Amino acid sequence: MAPLQGVRVLDLSRLLPGPMCTWYLASLGAEVVRVEAPSGHDYTRSMPPLVQGRSLFFASVNRGKKSVALDVRKPEGRDAFLMLCATADVVVEGFKPGTLARQGLDPAGLVERFEKLIVASITGYGQTGPLADEPGHDLNYLGLVGVTAASLPDEHGVPPTPFPIADVAGGALTAALGIAAAVAGVARGGPGRWLDVSMTEGALAAFGPFLAMAQGEHRAHRPGQEMLTGGLGTYRAYRCADGRILCVGALEPKFWMRMRELAPELPSVPATHELVPVFASRDRDDWVALLTGCCVGPALGATEVSDHPHHVARGAFQDYLGMPLANAPFGWSPSHEVPRVGEHTEELLRPLGVDLEALVASGAGGLG
C-alpha cells in the first residue's frame, strides 16, 4: 500500500513550489485535488512549449491530480471549499501572508475548525519577519542566503543559478517532508497544525554546511574555488575534444590513483591547469568508458538525458503526448493524466450536497 494512500490534499497553490510539493505527495499515494478558479488561475497551464495545446512545464508537476474549479474569493466558492476541507487531511497554499485570512480562510482558523487538518503555507520569506510581505522569486531567496554570491560568475560577472533551488529544495521538498511528518503525527493521535514553510529558510538549511565553512574561516565565499565548486582539480567539470563536458568527481585519493592507472597521461599532481589539456585530448564518452569506477561521468545535454541507458533501465521518464517527462522519485503511485480545470468538480462536490447549478451561476465554480 502506498504510504499516503487515503490522504486527501487540497492544493490552492500555483506556479512551481506548491504544485511540485503536491506532485511528490501524489506520487506517495495521496489524492491531490487542485482547487483553482474557473478561469484557471495558474498561468503555467499556458507556459510554452505547448504540445497539442498543453504545457509541458505544467504537466511535469501536475500529473496524477484532480481539479475542482472554485473561486474561494466568493462566498459560494468559499463555502464549498470549507465543505471539502471537512473531507481533507492537508491544505497546501502559496499566497502572500494574510491573503487567505482576508478571504475568510485564515490558516490558523482552519486548523482550529478542523482539528486534524494540516495546512502548509509556502511563502518566500515565511509568515513573520520584516520581509514577510515582500514579493520575491527564487533568485531573491538564493541571494539572501549566500548561494548567489558563492556561484561562479559568467563572462559578464553575473553569478548563474542552475535551476530554481529555493523553489524546489527550499520550498517544495521542505514542505512535502513537513507534511508527511505531520500526517504521521496525526495518525498517531496528534493534532493538526499550520506549517510555516519559508523557501528562503529551506534554501538556507540546504546551504548551511557551506556557509558554515566560510564563516568559520572568517572569509567570503570563493566562487568556483571551494572544495565542491571547482577548487579541486579532481572535482570539477572539463571540456573534452568533442566539445562535450566531463564530470570528474574523484574526490577521494583512491579514485585519483585508479584514474592514473587507467590513464597514465594524467599528471601526478592533479592541478586544474595541467588537467585541462589532458581531458581536451579525447572525446567525452571515450573518457567515460575508460574511467569506469572512478567517479567520472558525462554532463548530459538536455536532449541526451532521457535516452541515457541508466534512465531507460530505471524507467525514470514517462511519455506524455510523445514527450518524455521525468517521474517523481517514488514508485508507489505512478503519475497519470493532467487534469483540466474543473474536471472533477462534480465528482467531488455533488456527494457533499453542493448545489452545483447555483455555484456555477454565481461564477464561483465551474464544471470543466
pTM for this predicted structure: 0.88
In this structure, the answer to whether residues 357 and 239 fall within a common structural domain is no
In this structure, the answer to whether residues 72 and 127 fall within a common structural domain is yes
pLDDT at 349: 97
Among the listed residues 167, 196, 221, 344, the single catalytic one is: 167
pLDDT digits (tens, 9 = 90+) for 186-201: 999 999 999 999 999 9
On the question of pLDDT at 271 being above 80, the answer is yes
Rounded Cα distance, 88 and 183, in Å: 11
Mean pLDDT of 308-329: 91
Mean pLDDT of 305-334: 89
Contacts of 193 (CB under 8 A, 6+ apart): 111, 118, 119, 182, 185
CB 342 within 8 A of CB 38: yes
CATH number at residue 252: 3.30.1540.10
On the question of pLDDT at 336 being above 80, the answer is no
Answer whether residue 121 is part of any domain.
Answer: yes
CATH number at residue 125: 3.40.50.10540
Rounded Cα distance, 45 and 39, in Å: 11
Answer whether residue 80 is part of any domain.
Answer: yes
Contacts of 101 (CB under 8 A, 6+ apart): 107, 109
Answer whether residue 229 is part of any domain.
Answer: no
In this structure, the answer to whether residues 298 and 347 fall within a common structural domain is no
Helix axis angle for 17-27 and 174-187, nearest 10°, is 50
Among the listed residues 41, 137, 308, 311, the single catalytic one is: 137
In this structure, the answer to whether residues 188 and 265 fall within a common structural domain is no
Q: Which of 91, 88, 72 lies closest to 80 in space, CA to CA?
A: 72
In this structure, the answer to whether residues 273 and 163 fall within a common structural domain is no
In this structure, the answer to whether residues 167 and 301 fall within a common structural domain is no
Provide the pLDDT confidence category of residue 337 given band limits of 50, 70 and 90: confident
On the question of pLDDT at 177 being above 70, the answer is yes
Q: Residue 278 is part of which domain span?
A: 235-306
| Number of independent structural domains in the chain | 2
In this structure, the answer to whether residues 110 and 251 fall within a common structural domain is no
pLDDT at 154: 61
pLDDT digits (tens, 9 = 90+) for 303-314: 999 999 999 999
pLDDT digits (tens, 9 = 90+) for 77-113: 999 999 999 999 999 999 999 999 999 999 999 999 9
Q: 344 an active-site residue? A: no
pLDDT at 151: 77
In this structure, the answer to whether residues 201 and 240 fall within a common structural domain is no
Q: 167 an active-site residue? A: yes
CB 346 within 8 A of CB 367: yes
- Length of the chain, please? 368
Answer whether residue 222 is part of any domain.
Answer: no
pLDDT at 332: 79
Q: Which residue bears the cell 566531463?
A: 246
Answer whether residue 179 is part of any domain.
Answer: yes
Answer whether residue 126 is part of any domain.
Answer: yes
On the question of pLDDT at 155 being above 80, the answer is no
In this structure, the answer to whether residues 246 and 189 fall within a common structural domain is no
Rounded Cα distance, 52 and 68, in Å: 23
Answer whether residue 215 is part of any domain.
Answer: no
Provide the pLDDT confidence category of residue 159 given band limits of 50, 70 and 90: low
For 62-124, the DSSP string reads TTT-EEEEE-TTSHHHHHHHHHHHTT-SEEEE-PPTTHHHHTT--HHHHHHHSTT-EEEEEES
Answer whether residue 315 is part of any domain.
Answer: no
**Percent of the chain scoring above 70 in pLDDT:** 97
Q: Are strands 54-55 and 50-51 parallel, antiparallel or unpaired?
A: antiparallel
pLDDT at 143: 81
In this structure, the answer to whether residues 81 and 157 fall within a common structural domain is yes
Provide the pLDDT confidence category of residue 328 given band limits of 50, 70 and 90: confident
In this structure, the answer to whether residues 191 and 264 fall within a common structural domain is no
Question: What type of residue is 73?
Answer: R
The counts of H helices and E strands in the chain are 15, 14
On the question of pLDDT at 133 being above 90, the answer is yes
CB 9 within 8 A of CB 30: yes
In this structure, the answer to whether residues 38 and 129 fall within a common structural domain is yes
pLDDT at 331: 72
Rounded CA Rg of the chain:
24
User: Among 198-202, 206-210, 359-363, where is mean pLDDT lowest?
Assistant: 206-210
